[in-house]
Amino acid sequence: MKNIFCVSHPLCDHHLTELRERSTRPSDFRAIASRLTSFLALESTSILTTSECPIETPVAGMVGAKVKERIGVFPILRAGLAMVDPMLDVIPDAQVFHLGMYRDEETATPVEYYNKLAEFDPVEIGFILDPMLATGGSIELTISVLKRWGVTRISVLSLISSKEGIERLSKLHPDVRFHTCAIDSVLNSKKYIVPGLGDAGDRLFNTL
């Protein structure tokens, strides 16, 4: 799939192993998730375009470059919140829009409960943040919401993805780019990624 990008880096593998470990404390889990998001942020923002910007350094004049697009960051509540700060470290002028989704545990389908996008003009490029892409239901709903709003360039950032979910979404939305640190091969009967890391939201916010 041409728009699926899996980070290949020894440090990414190292941190991901620590993230998966069941004994990792919530405080460490949050820190590691932030580090891994930084890998995804740098890779996914390589598509941004720039315009020339004349500046004066302390030594001489030169022509630099500044990002042209208006950028939106869309964390899917609640787990996606952990990925916001490292994204803003890379693109501090991005706008952050919150979308509330939860998974119906009986049907494994997403339910939207919060969306105030209509109050704003659509951004030029949107980055959807969700640590886990399992069935992809919440992310699929978010992609549809952003497209209806008028966002034409969308990237999805997930720490771990299931093979089934990411391939299904890439076929449904071939224009969307998917960035992840790992692709796990199995979803269990409860639609959790295996081996995965459990419930990302519970581990991030210590609500196990």
Peptide bond into 195 cis (omega under 30): yes
- What is the rounded CA–CA span in Å between residue 194 and residue 186? 5
> E strands along the chain, which residues?
4-6, 50-56, 61-67, 71-77, 95-96, 99-103, 110-114, 125-129, 132-133, 153-162, 177-184, 186-187, 193-194
Is residue 103 flagged as an active site residue?
yes
Whether 184 is catalytic: no
Contact 46, 27 (CB under 8 A): no
**Residues with Cβ within 8 Å of residue 133, at least 6 apart in sequence:** 139, 156, 158, 160, 161, 162, 165, 166, 169, 178, 180
Would you call 117 helix, strand, or coil by DSSP? helix
Catalytic entry in 49, 107, 152, 207? 107
Q: Catalytic: which of 78, 103, 153, 168?
A: 103
Active-site residue 70, yes or no?
Answer: no
Catalytic status, residue 25: no
In the set 28, 70, 202, 207, the catalytic residue is: 202
Q: Which residues are catalytic?
A: 103, 107, 199, 202
